[in-house]
């Protein structure tokens, strides 16, 4: 989902594990794209893990008022906010709560998927070939976008592929019906409420008709999966037809994504990151999202295979599979990608896919493919065990955030192990 959409809603509940993996690339990669949209929140690097929703559902209280009563009250609010009555009535014609939206919203992610499997799917040979063909087909448009926004064409096409499989999987839900359902009886009504008003403003502006405003169950729209508020802020009419059309105009969709990345801090001519090797005895605790060092300092610490670059550019060391897997130094453009979708795995997928589109080699180091990922109940158990030993991992919610990783590092250090903060099955066994 491109921007401003809390990764959680963006696709099919990407997952509440180490980080919300965008199901966009994952599902879209294979034939169904998980669509996480760019998150307009600060990007914090999180451990990558993709999750698959199970059929389990949580219990939620049903609204006390009828949908008709809710809609009448919302109509008055929308009109007070400047939405024309005719626009509102046309948008809501035939709209009623969609049970499929509620099921998707309430499904609880349970099963985690390793980052390497996610990347295998995201950077498939089929996707790379299709992306290269589209780079050639849209060369003049992409050049013009690069010149205006300074964002690399390969990264844009990678996002295009991850978000909607190059426009083939944009979602088939009415955005108005989906957001109305979530605003009426969803778990995050305030956010859906805000996005619904934003969607009505899009219709009032005349960029799209209600019947064409379709997207994911969570309201992410178009070829680059913008949520409505992100669309209103960053969508552009690049093809000059008077409409910001991210559904049927690839030029508008790609330029809108470029505009968003530009405003998110994209640095023209700078790489997103690079795979590196670490020296023997390296302090793996330095692989922390809060530790940003100039390239020159990473060199001094013995980090190898860093290509010629601005030595003052600041980078974070990323170990997406712990010390036994590949290592990456990621720079500002990686952070900009995370603002599109706050998932480390998504950021890696965009970076590596953009490289593959340029025929660059893939990841050199081997992934620890024999590792078994912790499922949600095991992640909760890990947090509970860490807390019982005084390591303060935060709430036992199954989400491996900064506090849990710090607690894992502290426990690893107590055992004299590499303190990479990676919650492995072996670590859980040791805690048990």
Nearest to 127 by CA among 352, 343, 368, 367: 352
Q: What is the pLDDT of residue 411?
A: 94
3-class DSSP state for residue 288?
A: coil
Q: What is the pLDDT of residue 108?
A: 55
Q: What is the pLDDT of residue 2?
A: 52
Whole-number Å distance between alpha carbons of 352 and 328: 11
Whole-number Å distance between alpha carbons of 217 and 264: 26
With the C-alpha atoms ordered 365, 316, 400, 218, is the resulting torsion angle positive or negative?
negative
| Partners of 273 in the β-ladder | 330
Core vs surface per residue 62-72: b (16+ CB within 10 A) or e: eeeeeeeebbe
Give yes or no for a contact between 287 and 326, defined as CB atoms under 8 angstroms apart. no
Nearest to 237 by CA among 267, 215, 205: 205
Give yes or no for a contact between 54 and 108, defined as CB atoms under 8 angstroms apart. yes
Greatest Cα pair distance, the chain, in angstroms, is 68
Q: What is the pLDDT along the chain (432 residues), one digit of tens a residue?
A: 554 444 434 333 333 233 333 334 333 333 223 333 343 333 334 443 433 333 444 445 567 889 999 999 999 999 999 999 999 999 999 999 999 999 988 875 555 689 999 999 999 999 999 999 999 999 999 999 999 999 999 999 999 999 999 999 999 999 999 999 999 998 889 999 999 999 999 999 999 999 999 999 999 999 999 999 999 999 999 999 999 999 999 999 999 999 999 999 999 999 999 999 999 999 999 999 899 999 999 999 999 988 876 788 999 999 999 999 999 999 999 999 999 998 899 999 999 999 999 999 999 999 999 988 898 899 999 999 999 999 999 999 888 888 999 999 999 999 999 999 999 999 999 999
The number of angstroms, rounded, from the C-alpha of 90 to the middle of its chain's C-alpha atoms is 32
DSSP one-letter code for 226: B
The number of angstroms, rounded, from the C-alpha of 383 to the middle of its chain's C-alpha atoms is 24
Cβ neighbours of 158 (radius 10 Å)? 28
Q: What is the pLDDT of residue 109?
A: 55
Segment (H or E) for 426: helix 425-431
Residue indicated by tokens 């968003």:
260
pTM for the full predicted model: 0.85
Segment (H or E) for 55: strand 50-57
């Amino acid at each position: 989902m491109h921007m401003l959409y809390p990764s959680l809603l963006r696709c099919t509940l990407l997952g509440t594990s180490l980080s919300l993996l965008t199901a966009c690339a994952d599902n879209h990669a294979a034939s169904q794209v998980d669509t996480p949209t760019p998150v307009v929140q600060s990007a914090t690097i999180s451990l990558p893990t993709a999750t698959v929703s199970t059929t389990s559902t949580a219990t939620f209280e049903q609204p006390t008022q009828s949908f008709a009563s809710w809609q009448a009250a919302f109509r008055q609010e929308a009109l007070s906010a400047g939405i024309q009555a005719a626009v509102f009535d046309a948008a809501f014609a035939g709209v009623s709560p969609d049970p499929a939206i509620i099921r998707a919203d309430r499904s609880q992610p349970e099963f985690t998927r390793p980052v390497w499997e996610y990347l295998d799917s995201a950077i498939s040979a089929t996707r790379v070939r299709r992306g290269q063909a589209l780079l050639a087909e849209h060369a003049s448009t992409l050049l013009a976008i690069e010149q205006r926004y300074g964002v690399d064409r390969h990264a844009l096409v990678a996002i295009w592929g991850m978000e909607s499989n190059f426009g083939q999987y944009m979602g088939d839900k009415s955005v108005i019906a989906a957001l109305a359902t979530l605003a009426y009886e969803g778990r995050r009504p305030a956010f859906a409420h805000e996005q619904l008003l934003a969607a009505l403003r899009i219709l009032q502006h005349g960029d799209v008709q209600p019947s064409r405003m379709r997207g994911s169950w969570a309201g992410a729209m178009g070829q680059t999966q913008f949520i409505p508020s992100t669309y209103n802020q960053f969508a552009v009419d690049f093809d000059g037809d008077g409409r910001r059309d991210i559904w049927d105009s690839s030029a508008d969709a790609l330029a809108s994504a470029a505009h968003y990345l530009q405003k998110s801090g994209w640095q023209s001519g700078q790489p997103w990151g690079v795979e590196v090797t670490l020296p023997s005895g390296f302090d793996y605790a330095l692989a922390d999202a809060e530790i940003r060092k100039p390239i020159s300092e990473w060199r001094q610490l013995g980090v190898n295979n860093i290509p010629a670059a601005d030595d003052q550019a600041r980078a974070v060391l990323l170990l997406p599979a712990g010390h036994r897997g590949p290592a990456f130094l990621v720079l500002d453009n990686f952070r900009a990608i995370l603002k599109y979708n706050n998932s480390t795995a998504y950021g890696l997928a965009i970076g590596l896919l953009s490289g593959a589109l340029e025929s660059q080699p893939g990841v050199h180091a081997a992934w620890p493919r024999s590792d078994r990922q912790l499922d949600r109940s095991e992640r909760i158990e890990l947090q509970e065990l860490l807390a019982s030993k005084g390591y303060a991992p935060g709430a036992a919610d199954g989400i491996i955030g900064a506090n849990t990783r710090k607690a894992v590092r502290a426990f690893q250090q107590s055992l004299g192990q590499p303190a990479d903060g990676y919650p492995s099955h072996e670590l859980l066994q040791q805690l048990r």
